Structure 1
Amino acid sequence: MKIFIDGDGSPVKETTIEIALSYSIAVVIVTSIDHYSLKEYPENVSFVYVDKGADAADYKIVQLIRQGDILVTQDYGLASLVLPKGVRVLHQLGYEYTGGNIDGLLEQRYFSAKVRKSGGHTKGPKAFTQADRDKFKKTLVELIEQKK
């Protein structure tokens, strides 16, 4: 099992790495070359850099991820592509994408995009809080424990 992180702008990278390290699980962060970093990371962390492009990281994740892995992403579309592969997918707010909720989330995203295209406004995401981080930690640990 590996944990993949859709790395562009994820507020839970460090949290995920910390938890994965405590379980000796490899972490793969897939991100745009624009986010290249010289920061030192633990040995269990590797980076896959992709070219600039709207979905370049998503396509690379779909290519690399395998059944039994965990993906951390806020991207509903990416979640919908990897769920059929037997991947557990976790949002940074601590909820899991499943076959039971993904269609509704994609539909909601579609209608919001439609409103914006017609000149309307939709609410943006709320600010990420410590409570959100705590919920994410709890859910990630539960997912890992279920897979042991």
Structure 2
Amino acid sequence: MKIFIDGDGSPVKEDTISIGLSKELEIVVVTSIDHYSQKEYPKGVSFIYVDKGVDSADYRILELIKKGDLLVTQDYGLASLALPKGAAVLHQLGKEYTLDSIDQLLEQRYFSAKVRKSGGRTKGPKPFTAQDREKFREKLREVIRRELDK
């Protein structure tokens, strides 16, 4: 199992790396070249930098991800494409995307975009809290355990 992180702006990148490495899993962070960093990471963590572009990181992740891998992303569209490939997909708030829940999330996203396009306003995301981080960490450990036991 590899863990892929949709790295553009992920507030749980370091948490995912720490927990993944503690289980001796390979971590792949896919991010835009705009987020290039010279920070050194331990063995087992690799970065793939992609060109600037709205979905460049998403396309690269979809090329690489396989059945049994885990993806951390807040992007519903990317989640909807990774799930049929047999990957587990986790949101940064500790919610696991499933084939049963993804359609409703995509419909909500579509409706919100339609409201904004017609000049309306929708609520943005709430600030990321310490409680959100802990919930994510617990769910990540649970999903890793479950996937490794398969």
| TM-score of the superposed pair, with normalisation by structure 1 | 0.99
Q: Which residue matches 2:46?
A: 46
Tell me how far apart the structure 1 counterparts of residues 65 and 48 of structure 2 sit (CA, whole Å): 12
Residues 125-147 of structure 1, C-alpha deviations (whole Å, 9 max, x = no match): 00000110001000000011112
Report how far residue 86 of structure 1 moved: 0.3
**Runs (4+) off by over 4 Å:** none
Name 1:67's counterpart in structure 2.
Answer: 67
Matched, 1:102 2:114: no
**In the TM superposition, what is the alpha-carbon distance from 1:44 to its structure 2 partner?**
1.0
- Is 1:85 the counterpart of 2:85 in the alignment? yes
CA distance in structure 1 between the aligned counterparts of 2:147 and 2:122, rounded to whole angstroms = 38
RMSD, matched Cα: 0.5
Identify unmatched segments of 5+ residues in structure 2: none
Q: Distance in 1 between matches of 2:90 and 2:140?
A: 7
Per-residue CA deviations over 1:50-79 (Å, capped at 9, x if unaligned) read: 000000000000000000000000000000
Identity %: 71
Quick one: which amino acid aligns to residue 9 of structure 1? Answer: G
The number of residue pairs the alignment matches comes to 148
The CA distance in 2 between the partners of 1:42 and 1:131, in whole Å, is 27
The aligned residue for residue 132 of structure 2 is 132
- 5+ residue gaps in structure 1? none
